[in-house]
Structure formats: C-alpha cells, structure tokens
Structure 1
C-alpha cells in the first residue's frame, strides 16, 4: 500500500472539496486580497513585536521553538516522500519532460500536497516571530524571503504550473535538514556545518532557475515561436511562470550576497565571527 493510501485511510469522510483541492475564492487564502492582508498582518506583527520588545528582556521560548522546528522538519520530510511517491511513477512511465511539464502531472493528489506546502509557508512565518521575541536582528533577506515565498506558492496554485513540484521538492529537502539544524542547536548541539546550509540553499536556487527558465522558455517557444528549438509545451499560466522566474532569480542574488557578507574569507577573522553572530543562519532560511 502506498503511503498516501495509508494516510488517507484515516481521513474522516465529509471534508469539503475546497479543503482537498484548490478552489479559488473558497479554499482558505485563495484570493489576492486575503493573501495580501495576511502578509501585511505578518509584517505589522513582527515589527510591532520588535517595537514592544525594544525595552524588554529577550524571551527564550526554547521548548516552543524546538517543537516548531521538529514539526517543520518532520512535516517537510513526510510531504517530500508523498510528492515523490506520486510523481516518480509518472516520470518512469511517460518520461522526464512529461513528468515536469505535462498538465497531467498536476494530479489531484499533487494539488493537495501543493496546498499543504502553501500552508506550511504561513506556519514558517513564526520563524520571524521567534526572532522578534528573542530580540534577534530581522534581516531584509529573512523577512522578504518568508513573505514572498508564501506569495510565490499562491501564484503557482493559481496558475497550475506543473513544474512546481521540482522547486517544491528541492525546497522540502533543504527544509528537512535546515529545521533539524535549528532544532538541534536550540537544544545545545554544536554543529559545524552551519555555513553549508546557505551553500545548499544557493545550489537549490541554481537548480530551480535552470528548471523554471527551461520550462518557461519551452512554453513560450512552443506557443509563440514554434520554429525555435523546443521540446514541447510546459503547462501553467504564463504570468505565474514569469513571476516564479523573477522571484527565484531575486532569491539567488540575495542569498549569494548574504553568503559573501557573512562568510567571506577575505574578511578579518573577528569580523567574520561578528557577522555570523549578528546575521545568523536563521536569517537566510529558505522557502
């Protein structure tokens, strides 16, 4: 029995369709005003907490922080396995390009997994709440990345871009390791590979961009310039595809900039250590 079938056996009957499949305007957070209002509230909350905490002692919240991280690490692993279980047989049967770009790869189960991943992005906003309550610096990269990624996932659900799973599974793989790292270090573990989390994220975005630019190129050439070399159409709304390309490109540049500002070897040793403490890997968390 597939893992998805095993889990679905415990799902109660009578759940509305809009909670298991994406229905614009009915599924929670499925309209632009709702998403914008949620992300605006996120910004107001974190900067409000920062203002309130200015003259307060930082809160530890260690146990709650560890629960948050172990939930996201284990949840990311489960969702990663479910997605691969669904999409790998499609690729095995029909080929890689079909599995990445054909609209048939946007199966009902994959759509449901995309929705869960989308809601994970709102849970991940609590990362910033913990930082604010602990009086840690709120770096632009961290705040922008967390809020923009929720918007990115929303746009891809709206546009039904079949290539979405490639970006999401890479991101989930990184999150399994990343949230484990934060869980472990919150418990006092000394882990030497903090710097390589950022390296992993940069590599992730490089692969992401190769895939999404390929898919976008293939769609536009197949649709508008069929005489140009292309393999075939890549399904999904054009606006969602272009938005994804632009946003992921900005992530790559921002994370490379973060890496060099934080870990550049040419900096004096004391300054590297100071930057590492001030910025922290938490400020470079991925989607």
Structure 2
C-alpha cells in the first residue's frame, strides 16, 4: 500500500522555517530514540513519583503557590498542541479508511505509516509533558487522587508498549484521547482565567464514552489477531491484526481499568454532589415548614 499523500496541515508545517526532525525522533528506534527502552521508562516513572510525593512532603509547611500565568500557558499549549496533532493524524488516517476500509485502517501492517509513527512518538512525549499537571497540583497543595496519578503514569507506559508492539489500532485510542484533551485543557485554561465552565460533568461523560469506544475497538482487534492466529477456521474473523500479543493484552487490560476507574470517579463526584443538593433542599424545606408552623 502506498502511504497517503501529505495533507494540508502537514504541508503547511513543512513550509515553515522549522528544522528537520532527527531520525531518532521521526522513527521509533529502540535504544536510540529517547525514552525507548524499559529502564528509561521505569526511571522516568520513578522520578515522577519521587517528585510529586516528595514535593507533597516538602510543601506541608509552606503556603500554596499558584503560578497562574505558567499554569494557563501549560494548558493553552496542551490544548492547541493536542488539536494540531489530532489534525495531522486525521489527515493521514481518513484517506486510508476511505480507500481501504475501517478494518484495514485498524489492523493492516501498512496502516502503521511512517508519518503516523512520528505522530505516535510526539504523542508519547506529550504524555511526559502532561506529568506537570501533577506538579501544579502539588505546589497548589491540592489532594492527589489515585486516578490522576495512575492515569498519567500508566498512559505513558501504554504509549511506550504500543510503539514497541506496532499496533495499528493505536490511532483510534490516540485520536479520541487527543480530542478529549483539546476540550479538557481548554477547560483548565478557561477556569484558571476566572471563567465558570458549566460542562465539566459532561467532560467526564465524554471520557467514559471514549474508553467504551476504545475497548470495543481494541478488543475487536485483539480478537481478530487471536482468532486468526490460533483458531482460524473455527472462529469467525475478518483476518489478523498488526501488533504483538503483549502489547494487545496490556492495552486491553489497562483501558479496561481506565473505564472502571472513571465510572467510579463519576459516581463518587457527581452522584454524591447531586445527593448533597437534594439533602440541602430537603433541609431548607424542613426549616421553612417549621417556621411557618
């Protein structure tokens, strides 16, 4: 399969006076591309955990720091950067789907194009940039929830495993995540600027929907691979799917945990808030009733 022609966003970026990417950034070369080995990833995660929990200990006797302009810039760049990366990926993926169909786009080895590999690498590095979300929470003396720390840490590991496993279905998970991040970091940017945004609850609903679509797709891709490899002729399948077995199993397991964790977060946060409002309304009504009696 011939890779799609460069799209308008890609062409525009290459028309700008931007230095060419090093080969080890443009292509995933284990041992040469930065953060492309297991020891490097383990060290990066360990440093992250040491910084945030050590930072919490150091901040106990200090007042919170806001760093509002820096926090706003952080979120603005992540929102716009996610949008740019999403546009680049879509203009690469949509022609593949149009010409060869959705199954080919998520399962064929040829769907792992050189440009998509570059975008996957950039998305992987953005995962490490996003770890600064937690640093801002620490210096603001905000509580660290397990979901936040686990999700940020595990997502970087997930991207690492999928780059090594060359799972062609990766673009589904990544594009949905980028779309959510455009909205999420825009939300944080606007609230930091002092605006009240009413759709935070729906953002969490969107995240849950994202993981449902992710799981449907990655389970289908994994089933296709295992059915074709180990039960061809016994189980219905459209064909095999690109990627290693380890990457497939890890991806399915981690995304499943995300779904359950986000559902639990939604119930804990919004159901409880709704019940508190009901209880407050009942209390106010009882007070009024007593006064009138």
TM over 0.5: yes
Bigger mean CA offset, 188-197 vs 74-83: 188-197
Q: Equivalent residue for 1:275? A: none
Bigger mean CA offset, 66-75 vs 262-271: 262-271
Q: Distance in 2 between matches of 1:136 and 1:270?
A: 27
Q: Distance in 2 between matches of 1:8 and 1:211?
A: 32
Q: Structure 2 vs 1, CA of residues 46 and 103 (structure 1 numbering), >3 Å: closer, same or farther?
A: same
Displacement of 1:271 in angstroms is 8.7
Displacement of 1:270 in angstroms is 8.5
Q: Equivalent residue for 1:86? A: 92
Partner residue of 2:250 out of 226, 240, 243: 243
Q: Distance in 1 between matches of 2:117 and 2:13?
A: 16
Partner residue of 1:260 out of 267, 273, 291: 267
TM-score scaled by structure 1? Answer: 0.92
Q: Equivalent residue for 2:152? A: 146
Displacement of 1:16 in angstroms is 3.1
Partner-residue secondary structure (3-state), 1:60? coil
Max radius of gyration: which structure? 2
Matched, 1:20 2:23: no
Q: Distance in 2 between matches of 1:164 and 1:16?
A: 23
Q: What 5-or-longer segments of structure 1 have no aligned partner?
A: 273-287
Partner-residue secondary structure (3-state), 1:192? coil
Q: Distance in 2 between matches of 1:89 and 1:238?
A: 27
Matches within 5 A, 1:111-130: 111-130=117-136
Q: Equivalent residue for 2:240? A: 233
Aligned length: 271
Displacement of 1:114 in angstroms is 0.1
Q: Equivalent residue for 1:269? A: 277
Partner residue of 1:205 out of 190, 194, 211: 211
Matched, 1:155 2:154: no
Q: What 5-or-longer segments of structure 2 have no aligned partner?
A: 1-6, 281-293
Partner residue of 1:75 out of 46, 58, 81: 81
Displacement of 1:8 in angstroms is 2.4
TM-score scaled by structure 2? Answer: 0.90
Q: Distance in 1 between matches of 2:269 and 2:19?
A: 48
CA offsets, 1:104-153, max 9 Å, x none?
01000000000000000000000000000000000000000000000000
Displacement of 1:196 in angstroms is 1.0
